[in-house]
Amino acid sequence: MVLVAVLLAGVLGGCQADDPVDPGRSATDTLAGSGEAPELGGLLPEDRAAAPDVLLVEDLVVGRGPPAVVGRRLTAHVAMLRWSDGGVVRNSWARGAPLSVTFGANALIPGLEQGLAGMRVGGRRLLTVPAELAYGERGVEDVIPPDEPLVVVVDLLDVTDHVPAAPIPEGPR
């Protein structure tokens, strides 16, 4: 239950259900690192009859900066859509605040943990995440139905060394 709360806080915080989409443009119309959001309408395939059963990873823009590796702090813009209807689950561009997490610390759904591995700063990556690597049978009440695949676009903005928090000094007993 704690893991679900962490995932929801990290990945769903500030959901934007009414983000505009323009089906006439593609996800590559804006470049990663430009600060501009991708056109979400171009992320979903037109034929969505068969839901994906494996993680699909496509580099739309290949970054040239440091790679995402376990233990490092990642800062990224993320837009997440439901496979079935294209509804926006999360859009950090619309919120004006990128996601920042320690990679490999189970702060992301498994499909993102696997799909971001090796991605480089400055890149834009499109992930098609099967339900079992997203929220599975549980889904997320009123946001993601059970067994719902997700389509995610990520711009990796920064990778830094993770600095653990300093221990809290003990006071008098």
pLDDT digit string, tens, across residues 91-118: 999 999 999 999 999 889 999 999 999 9
Closest CA to 89 of 80, 97, 98, 76: 80
Would you state the pLDDT for residue 163? 63
b/e per residue 69-79 (b: at least 16 CB within 10 A): eeebbbbbbbb
| Residue 59, SS3 per DSSP | strand
User: Which pair of tokens denotes residue 116?
Assistant: 């971001």
Question: Could you give the CA distance from residue 31 to residue 13 in angstroms, rounded to a whole number?
Answer: 24
pTM of the shown model: 0.74
b/e per residue 88-114 (b: at least 16 CB within 10 A): bbbbbbbbeebbebebbeebbbbbbbe
Question: Could you give the CA distance from residue 142 to residue 154 in angstroms, rounded to a whole number?
Answer: 24
User: Which pair of tokens denotes residue 16?
Assistant: 């934007």
- Do 95 and 14 touch, CB atoms closer than 8 A? yes
Residue ranges, the chain, pLDDT below 50: 1-31
Q: Which value, in Å, is the radius of gyration of the alpha carbons in the chain?
A: 16
Phi and psi, residue 147, nearest 5°: 60, 35
What is the CATH topology of the domain spanning 2-161? Chitinase A; domain 3 (3.10.50)
Question: Could you give the CA distance from residue 56 to residue 126 in angstroms, rounded to a whole number?
Answer: 8
- Do 15 and 33 touch, CB atoms closer than 8 A? no
Give the start-to-end residue ranges of the domains of the chain. 2-161
Strand 72-82 and strand 150-161: pairing? antiparallel
Would you state the pLDDT for residue 171? 61
Would you state the pLDDT for residue 3? 35
Amino acid at 9: A
